Amino acid sequence: MRDKENGNVDGSRRTWLIATSVAGGIGGVATVVPFVASFAPSEKARAAGAPVEVDISNLEPGSMMTVAWRGKPVWILNRTDRMMADVDKSTPELADPDSKDPFSMPLPEYCKSQYRSRPDHKNILVAVAVCTHLGCTPTARFQEGPQPNLPNDWPGGFLCPCHGSTYDLAGRVFKNKPAPQNLDIPRYMFASPTQIVIGQDEQGEA
């Protein structure tokens, strides 16, 4: 049942939702906006890693939100067409463009394209925001071009603040960085066009 007050799901799941919006889409700067919490059943369910249901109806193109799943931050990024083109542009510069060497969980079969997303919602990226080097949380650097700590031909993506690893807009790590692998992509599915369930797909719970 939906809690109309805070927009989250209650009853069977516990969700922390941290929304991060990116003003102006591809040319914008990531800013953190409200931290919303809702509480549902038990610590036991949360500890067991229950799937998390997320409403993305307000997730504008070019914007990203972060939710917690199994104690880890998970990004949901609504990529614009330009961002999708940036994924293609990044491919030659990546350490493992085909994600042949997954980090801590297998890459779901339906996420094996370069976009690493479900083909029926290709623009939506769902990725675990844990750097594969030493576990920091990378930050959004969606703006293209020269800027501090990034190359002049930066195509847009993510920068880990700890040791400088960079990831493209599909969570794939660039070459010659401390991080050895791409970001994890969890199993997920769409319960409706605007409702994502993280940690569960047609095969059951992850």
Interaction pattern, residues 37-56, with ligand FES; x per rule: CB under 6 A: --------------------
Touching ligand FES, residues 114-153 (CB under 6 A)? 131, 133-136
Which tokens in the block code for residue 54?
């997320």
Residue 138 CB, shortest distance to ligand FES, in Å, is: 7
Query: What's the CA gap between 65 and 61, in Å, rounded?
Result: 11
Q: Which is nearer to ligand FES, 135 or 193 (CB)?
A: 135
Q: What is the DSSP string of 107-167?
A: PPGGG-STT-S-GGGTTEEEEE---TTT----EEE-S-S-BTTB-TT--SEEE-TTT--EE
- Residues with Cβ within 8 Å of 47's Cβ and at least 6 positions away in sequence, in order, are none
66, 117, 143, 165: which one binds ligand FES (CB under 6 A): 165
Q: Which is nearer to ligand FES, 162 or 206 (CB)?
A: 162
Q: Do the beta carbons of residue 155 and residue 89 sit within 8 Å?
A: yes
178 contacts ligand FES (rule: CB under 6 A): yes
173 contacts ligand FES (rule: CB under 6 A): no
Q: Which is nearer to ligand FES, 42 or 104 (CB)?
A: 104
Q: Which is nearer to ligand FES, 100 or 163 (CB)?
A: 163
Residue 107 CB, shortest distance to ligand FES, in Å, is: 20
Residue 112 class from Cβ within 10 Å (0-12 exposed, 13-18 middle, 19+ buried)? middle
First-last CA distance in the chain:
23
95 contacts ligand FES (rule: CB under 6 A): no
Give the residue carrying structure tokens 């003003």: 23
DSSP 171: S
Q: Which is nearer to ligand FES, 111 or 159 (CB)?
A: 159
125, 129, 179, 183: which one binds ligand FES (CB under 6 A): 179
Point out which residues bind ligand FES (CB under 6 A).
Answer: 131, 133-136, 160, 162-165, 178-179
